[in-house]
């Protein structure tokens, strides 16, 4: 634990760490409880990376039961300052079919019952009390991280969709047709279940967060069949997980050094007294 250190966090499935030869598993406890699983520390492209299986090993945690606060806190506590968050989504436009890689630049929160702030006025175990802090979130994703992710995808000849809106629903059920058509008519691009509060909690911790969404299906309002099935989602994800991993690893290697960051994420708390020490 004392030696645990990383520069970059990746929150994703087991496919992103299980093949690493030298992986160190560390269990991290946080003031907010336990993260989804151990952190798996390894090296990718000469960079120290902490992997966290978002749903836990064996995928036992549904999206609404993930301890997002503990996950981001744990990553920061081992030194990660930039986080890549790949996730599976449904496409809300017919031209965003299965296999589309979309790097969103906007987010809509349609979740209902998730802890989505560290600044809730409740004391931490060490007695410190977070102040009221209203975090700027107009641009929810790191512009530098987005640029790196887009370039990495193009480098693998996987032309990504540059920008778009990820709407995050509570789940674990998929959307109704009416909901899906509503999301599409609002001009939103893809729909998922885990992108929030992951993004805002990262911002609250001053972390750079980049979402890479992989479309596994057309959402109910954008297709004409029987609606989304979990089997289909898993099939498409399986087909694309290899190249998504390549893109992620290339992106890891191309992210700036933590000390060289000068994006809006690093200024999230300018002018605020947090009242607590970030890990
Ligand atoms: Zn940033």
Nearest Cα to Cα of residue 199 among 126, 141, 240: 141
**Residues near 46 by beta carbon (within 8 Å), at least 6 away in sequence:** 253
Tens digit of pLDDT at every position of the chain (279 positions): 445 799 999 998 766 666 677 899 999 999 999 999 999 999 999 999 999 999 998 888 999 999 999 999 999 999 999 999 999 999 999 999 999 999 999 999 999 999 999 999 899 988 999 999 999 999 999 999 999 999 999 999 999 999 999 999 999 999 999 999 999 999 999 999 999 999 999 999 999 999 999 998 888 777 666 666 778 778 887 888 889 999 999 999 999 999 999 999 999 888 899 999 999
Over its C-alpha atoms, the chain yields an Rg (Å, rounded) of 18
Predicted confidence at residue 2, as pLDDT, reads 44
Range list of β-strands (E), the chain: 8-12, 24-26, 39-44, 47-53, 82-91, 101-103, 106-110, 161-162, 165-169, 190-192, 208-218
Predicted confidence at residue 150, as pLDDT, reads 98
**Residues near 157 by beta carbon (within 8 Å), at least 6 away in sequence:** none
CA 267 / ligand 1 centre spacing (Å): 9
CA 144 / ligand 1 centre spacing (Å): 6
Q: Do 184 and 93 touch, CB atoms closer than 8 A?
A: yes
Expressed in percent and rounded to 5, the helix, strand and coil fractions of the chain are 30, 20, 50
Annotated catalytic residues are: 217, 219
Which residues have CB atoms below 5 A from the ion given as ligand 1? 142, 208, 263, 265
CA 234 / ligand 1 centre spacing (Å): 31
CATH assignment of 8-267, among 3.40.50.1580, 3.90.1150.10, 3.40.50.300, 3.40.640.10: 3.40.50.1580
CA 232 / ligand 1 centre spacing (Å): 34
Predicted confidence at residue 229, as pLDDT, reads 77
Predicted confidence at residue 19, as pLDDT, reads 63
Nearest Cα to Cα of residue 131 among 256, 229, 277: 277
Predicted confidence at residue 227, as pLDDT, reads 65
HSE at residue 165, side-chain half, CA atoms within 13 A, is 15
CA 214 / ligand 1 centre spacing (Å): 21
Give CA–CA dist 153/212, Å, rounded.
10
């Amino acid at each position: 634990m004392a030696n645990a250190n990383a520069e970059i966090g990746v929150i994703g499935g087991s496919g992103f760490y299980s093949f690493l030869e030298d992986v160190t598993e560390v269990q991290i406890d946080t003031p907010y409880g336990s993260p989804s699983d151990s952190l798996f520390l390894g090296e990718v492209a000469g960079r120290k990376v902490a992997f966290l299986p978002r749903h836990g090993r064996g995928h036992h945690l549904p999206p609404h039961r993930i301890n997002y606060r503990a996950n981001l806190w744990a990553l920061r506590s081992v030194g990660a300052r930039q986080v890549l968050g790949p996730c599976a989504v449904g496409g809300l436009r017919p031209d965003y079919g299965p296999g589309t890689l979309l790097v969103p630049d906007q987010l809509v929160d349609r979740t209902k019952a998730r802890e989505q702030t560290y600044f809730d006025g409740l004391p931490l175990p060490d007695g410190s009390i977070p102040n009221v802090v209203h975090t700027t979130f107009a641009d929810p994703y790191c512009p530098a991280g987005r640029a790196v992710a887009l370039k990495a995808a193009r480098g693998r000849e996987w032309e990504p969709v540059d920008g778009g809106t990820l709407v995050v629903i509570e789940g674990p059920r998929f959307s109704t047709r009416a909901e899906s058509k509503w999301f599409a008519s609002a001009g939103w691009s893809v729909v998922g279940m885990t992108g929030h509060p992951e993004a805002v909690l990262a911002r609250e911790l001053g972390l750079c967060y980049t979402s890479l969404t992989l479309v596994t299906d057309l959402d109910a309002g954008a297709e004409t069949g029987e609606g989304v099935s979990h089997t289909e989602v898993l099939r498409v994800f399986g087909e694309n997980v290899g190249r998504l991993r390549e893109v992620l690893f290339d992106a890891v290697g191309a992210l700036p050094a933590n000390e060289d960051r000068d994006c809006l994420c690093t200024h999230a708390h300018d002018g605020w007294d947090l009242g607590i020490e970030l890990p």
